Structure 1
Amino acid sequence: MPAETTEIISYQQPDTADDYRRWDDSASWLLGYAFLPLALGLDLDLADGTTSRLLDLGCGPGEVTRWLAGRCTARITAVDSSAAMIDLARAEAPHPRIDYRHSDDGLLPFLADGSMDAAMACFLFTCVDEESTIRELIAEVARVVRPGGRFTILVPNPDHAFGAEFEGFRRGDAGAAYEAGELMPVHVRRVDDSWTTILNRYWTRETYRTALAEGGFAGPVRELAPVLADAVGVADAELFGDRAWAQERTAAPFLLITAVR
């Protein structure tokens, strides 16, 4: 792996938000984002006229939000605590059915109780420093999601946080042991083949399951941990590319946790 820079990044900074878009996120698209419609139960028939209301909490620069808007009829409220990210999303990922909103604390006073049919949060909670804040955010999502609505959390798989090599990234260091809430290094490759190392929080399955249950998602919790074979017929074929995807054949880099309100 080439020489790296190491930093505790702040997504509030425009330079960081811009650099985020240059990370090699091929694995995220192939084995993470592609499974969101399935986990959320979104209707992908654009011709049937059905319109649902979807919350994207922690939308970042809006690339995934716009991708979903192009594949379903949902009206999407996309929220991020970084004004720099929201500025990027509005400028570069606009869509007539997406309403981008900035929220300093991640709370949603502009949304009424039960006004969303479903919600998602992609790679949000590894950027949250306190477990109490995770619970507060999930409780706020529960407030705005209608009874019976789904909430999907897409997170790095907690089982592979100790140096496993995936395409484009490595979480943690070999032989290390991380406790819930502990800072851990994440080594990320950019599309120009340079590398950077950022620091994220390590959270366990139990962290998420407890926060969901206590936050108001009392329904069943389902987990989806896709490996390469699962992506056939789900992800866009071009995402497979000419990469080896060696580790991804047997180890799932990501976990989709879906709870029902």
Structure 2
Amino acid sequence: MSDRPEGTGNAGAGAGEEGVAWSGPDGAQAFAAVDAATDWLLGYPFVFRALAGWIDSRHVLVDYGCGPGKVADHAARRLGARVLGVDTSPEMLALARGSGTAVAEYHLVEDGRTVCLADGSADAVMCNHVLASLPTEETVLSVFGEIRRILRPGAPFVLLATDPACSGTEYASLRIGDPGGEYGPGDEVTVRLRRTDGTWQSMPNHAWPVELFPTLLERAGFRDVVQHRPTVDEALALADPELAAGRTWAAERAKPPLVITTALAD
């Protein structure tokens, strides 16, 4: 569980590609080499914007599924909040702790629970691409339930996910599934991610149609669910100017693949 599409093995790897398991030291190092340009254009800046109206230096923000800490670090520096990163992978957390981020603490999620965090101890939670690692509705509800547990009542939860309905399109840094593919809840779907050296790696993920999230969140104890699909035109005012100007973003303009879902703890 981390800020990434997640999977194991080498299913779907093609010519010039390498399949990789995200678990273990090799997986953690492999994730550090992922480009994630599409996420940094249409995803993370909008997550930070959604959180900005709720938190400042007085508040605790939890990054649920923090991976090696890159997104948590940006959030800490941009928002000024006390950021805590949590993840199921000890190797990811070791990488995060050794990378000199601005994040205050990192905690391990064991058996679906972050035992170091008390009920209602967070003023906000963000969760980026974690659902892609979850195979069943039960596991999705379990994650939502744990996030609800650590949030104080009325606090915001911001969820970033890739829409499997955008399958087959090659974006700047990812492709979801195969051209013409249709994927139902929990179906296995191969995702390709571009590395910083320009090569690609593939792994199996699980598809979760974004239109299911409002109902699942309400079942887990959230209310006031709102969804937003960021566009390139919106991103030009939020994303890093060098990143935004460095590509044409043709696919991202034609069919934006990321959806931001926000909700409040009931």
Same fold (TM over 0.5): yes
In structure 1, C-alpha distance between the alignment counterparts of 2:226 and 2:52, rounded to whole Å? 12
Q: Is the contact between residue 154 and residue 257 of structure 1 (CA under 8 Å) also seen in structure 2?
A: yes
Once the two structures are TM-superposed, the CA of residue 44 in structure 1 deviates from its matched residue by 8.0
Structure 2 spans left out of the alignment, 5+ residues: 1-13
| Residue in 2 that maps onto 1:244 | 248
| Residue in 1 that maps onto 2:67 | 60
In structure 2, C-alpha distance between the alignment counterparts of 1:210 and 1:10, rounded to whole Å? 31
In structure 1, C-alpha distance between the alignment counterparts of 2:53 and 2:85, rounded to whole Å? 16
Deviations 1:134-183 (A, max 9, x none): 101111111111111110110112331x2012112111101122111011
Aligned: 1:257 with 2:264: no
| Residue in 2 that maps onto 1:202 | 207
| Residue in 2 that maps onto 1:29 | 40
In structure 2, C-alpha distance between the alignment counterparts of 1:178 and 1:157, rounded to whole Å? 10
Counterpart of 1:154 (choices 148, 151, 160) is 160
| Residue in 1 that maps onto 2:185 | 180
Q: Give SS of 1:92's match.
A: coil
| Residue in 2 that maps onto 1:220 | 224
In structure 2, C-alpha distance between the alignment counterparts of 1:69 and 1:188, rounded to whole Å? 26
Q: Is the contact between residue 187 and residue 207 of structure 2 (CA under 8 Å) also seen in structure 1?
A: yes
Q: Give SS of 1:159's match.
A: helix
Q: Is the contact between residue 161 and residue 210 of structure 2 (CA under 8 Å) also seen in structure 1?
A: no
Aligned: 1:133 with 2:139: yes
In structure 2, C-alpha distance between the alignment counterparts of 1:238 and 1:260, rounded to whole Å? 34
Q: Is the contact between residue 66 and residue 98 of structure 1 (CA under 8 Å) also seen in structure 2?
A: no
Once the two structures are TM-superposed, the CA of residue 84 in structure 1 deviates from its matched residue by 0.6
In structure 2, C-alpha distance between the alignment counterparts of 1:157 and 1:185, rounded to whole Å? 13
Q: Greater CA deviation, 106-115 or 143-152?
A: 106-115
Q: Give SS of 1:223's match.
A: strand
Q: Is the contact between residue 164 and residue 177 of structure 2 (CA under 8 Å) also seen in structure 1?
A: no
Aligned: 1:89 with 2:76: no
Once the two structures are TM-superposed, the CA of residue 42 in structure 1 deviates from its matched residue by 4.4
Question: Residue type of the partner of 1:5?
Answer: E
* Percentage of pairs with the same residue: 35
Q: Is the contact between residue 57 and residue 80 of structure 1 (CA under 8 Å) also seen in structure 2?
A: yes
| Residue in 2 that maps onto 1:15 | 26
| Residue in 1 that maps onto 2:15 | 3
Q: Is the contact between residue 126 and residue 203 of structure 1 (CA under 8 Å) also seen in structure 2?
A: yes
Once the two structures are TM-superposed, the CA of residue 124 in structure 1 deviates from its matched residue by 0.4
* Number of aligned positions between the proteins: 253
Once the two structures are TM-superposed, the CA of residue 207 in structure 1 deviates from its matched residue by 3.3
Deviations 1:197-222 (A, max 9, x none): 111100112432222111110x2111
| Residue in 2 that maps onto 1:40 | 51
In structure 1, C-alpha distance between the alignment counterparts of 2:59 and 2:26, rounded to whole Å? 34
Aligned: 1:113 with 2:119: yes
Q: Give SS of 2:239's match.
A: coil
Question: Residue type of the partner of 2:17?
Answer: T
Q: Is the contact between residue 43 and residue 73 of structure 1 (CA under 8 Å) also seen in structure 2?
A: no
In structure 2, C-alpha distance between the alignment counterparts of 1:150 and 1:125, rounded to whole Å? 18
Aligned: 1:234 with 2:238: yes
Structure 1 spans left out of the alignment, 5+ residues: none
Q: Greater CA deviation, 206-215 or 121-130?
A: 206-215
